[in-house]
Copies of this chain bind each other. A is one copy, B any other.
Amino acid sequence: MTTAPSDLPPPLLVDRIVGFVGTGIMGASMAGHLLDAGCVLNVHNRTRSKAEGLVARGATWHDSPEGVAASSDVVITMLGYPVDVERVYLGGEGGDGIVAASRPGALLIDMTTSSPSLAARIASAATAGGRTALDAPVSGGDVGARSATLVVMCGGDEAGFTRAVPLLRRLGRSVTRLGAAGAGQRCKLANQVAVAVGMVAWCEALSHARAGGLDPAAVQQVIAGGAAGSWALTTLAPRALAGDFAPGFLVKHLVKDIAIALETARETGIDLPGLETAARLYEAVVTRGWQDEGTQALARLYPGW
């Protein structure tokens, strides 16, 4: 493990010509911090309108990820699904992908939550072409992206990591390398395993209380500070208790992450019965049509919510 010290100011930028592909809710905030830090920014997004705020602040629009890559020393991607990551990096749909299109010596950083094996494939392809690719998924959501307090979990070449730190420290309060290519994704998946099963924990606890005739909001207040306590019980349970199922983090994105985590678990030969239960429950959430709600919508599977 290598952690960039977070009690010091971020190191000075060396790479200043930065491309950003994927300027959705999180990506737009993150790219904005790089503009603030003095980067020359090249941007592309599937839906152009979501990049317009950055363009108005001086970023240069490109019609393709490859156009961004050809003009940048470092390319950061923040996409939706592994299939998007594969297409943007390795090509398809008319593009050759940014591994091929980037400048020799370029540093490519994928911050999407994606598959460890895909991250390893991209890193190999990058190395073979004289580029460096890192996987660097984050936790902290839209709020963390906005306030530059993300937790960044990196995998890949150590020299590449060292080169990436000055940029990544503009986006996150903690930047850690966990190992070789894919290790960042594996750490993020471990995070999502704890998130998914932890959601079941508070949903069932408060549902048990409610079914027994107690006021679940009173129970939440009593138990949140003790051994039953969790970030989710403190932060998400009150939203669900107030009938607020608006997304901080979307059900369908957690479902994607759970699927990758289960696949990775199978590849490494480990049984995770708790995660399998969480997967079945979140599948039921999707079946009811709540895939675009926040992950706290899990509570709606239980009576009374």
Contact = CB atoms under 8 A, between A and B. Distances in A.
* A-side interface size class: 35 or more
A112 interface: no
A190 B178 CA distance: 36
Nearest to A217: B1
A213 to B, nearest CB: 7
A191 B205 contact: yes
A147 to B, nearest CB: 13
A103 to B, nearest CB: 31
Interface string A243-276: 0000001000000000001001100111011111
Interface stretch (A9-17, A39-47, A157-165, A195-203): A195-203
Name A's interface SS: helix
Nearest to A141: B227
A267 to B, nearest CB: 9
Interface in A196-224: 196-198, 200-209, 211-215, 218-219, 221-223
Given A207-B270, A277-B277, A214 B194 contact: no
A218 B178 CA distance: 7
B278 A274 contact: yes
Contacts of A153: 222
B223 A187 contact: yes
A226 B277 contact: no
Contacts of A140: 226-227
B270 A226 contact: no
Contact of A208 (B151, B204, B232, B272): B272
Given A151-B223, A191-B228, A194-B228, 5 more contacts: A1-B215, A193-B208, A200-B201, A204-B272, A211-B269
State the 7 A-B residue pairs at the shortest beta-carbon distance, nearest first: A194-B205, A200-B274, A197-B201, A194-B228, A230-B230, A1-B218, A190-B209
21 contacts: A139-B227, A151-B225, A178-B214, A179-B214, A186-B212, A190-B228, A191-B205, A191-B223, A191-B226, A191-B227, A194-B228, A196-B201, A197-B201, A201-B201, A207-B270, A207-B272, A212-B264, A227-B249, A229-B230, A270-B302, A273-B281
